[in-house]
Amino acid sequence: MKILSLSLLLLLAATVSASVPGLIELVDSKTIFGNVAELLEKEKLSINYANCRSWHLGVETSNIIDFDTVPANCKDYVEDYLITSKQYQYDSKTVCKEAYFYAKGLALKNDTVNVWIFDLDDTLLSSIPYYAKYGYGTEKTDPGAYWLWLGTGASTPGLPEALHLYQNIIELGIEPIILSDRWKLWKNVTLDNLEAAGVTYWKHLILKPNGSNLRQVVYKSKVRKSLVKKGYNIVGNIGDQWADLVEDTPGRVFKLPNPLYYVPS
Q: Are residues 146 and 85 in the same domain?
A: yes
Determine, yes or no, domain membership for 59.
Answer: no
The reported pTM is 0.81
Q: Contact at 8 Å (CB) between 161 and 255?
A: no
Q: How many domains does the chain have?
A: 2
Task: State the CB neighbour count (10 A cutoff) for residue 188.
Answer: 11
Q: Contact at 8 Å (CB) between 246 and 224?
A: no
* 70-128 pLDDT tens trace: 999 999 999 999 999 999 999 999 999 999 999 999 999 999 999 999 999 999 999 99
Q: Which of 82, 62, 65, 66 is nearest to 74 (CA)?
A: 82
Q: Are residues 133 and 181 in the same domain?
A: yes
Q: Are residues 242 and 115 in the same domain?
A: yes
Determine, yes or no, domain membership for 264.
Answer: no
Q: Taking CA 60 as the corner, what is the angle to CA 56 and CA 61, rounded to the nearest 5 degrees?
A: 115
Residue 4, pLDDT > 60, answer no
* 163-199 pLDDT tens trace: 999 999 999 999 999 999 999 999 999 999 999 999 9
Determine, yes or no, domain membership for 163.
Answer: yes
Determine, yes or no, domain membership for 88.
Answer: yes
Task: State the CB neighbour count (10 A cutoff) for residue 49.
Answer: 20
Q: Are residues 112 and 188 in the same domain?
A: yes
Residue 179, CA distances (Å) to 27, 29, 137, 176, 227 in order: 59, 57, 24, 10, 11
Q: Under 8 Å CB-to-CB from 147, ≥6 apart: which residues? A: 182, 183, 186
* 45-54 pLDDT tens trace: 335 778 999 9
Cα dihedral 128/134/140/141 (nearest 10):
-80
Determine, yes or no, domain membership for 58.
Answer: no
CATH code: domain of residue 207? 3.40.50.1000
In the 8-state DSSP scheme, what is residue 50? S
Range of the domain at 198: 78-255
Quick one: pLDDT at residue 76?
96
Q: Are residues 181 and 110 in the same domain?
A: yes
Q: Are residues 189 and 247 in the same domain?
A: yes
Q: Are residues 200 and 158 in the same domain?
A: yes
Q: Are residues 42 and 83 in the same domain?
A: no
Determine, yes or no, domain membership for 151.
Answer: yes
Q: Are residues 159 and 198 in the same domain?
A: yes
Determine, yes or no, domain membership for 122.
Answer: yes
Q: Are residues 8 and 128 in the same domain?
A: no
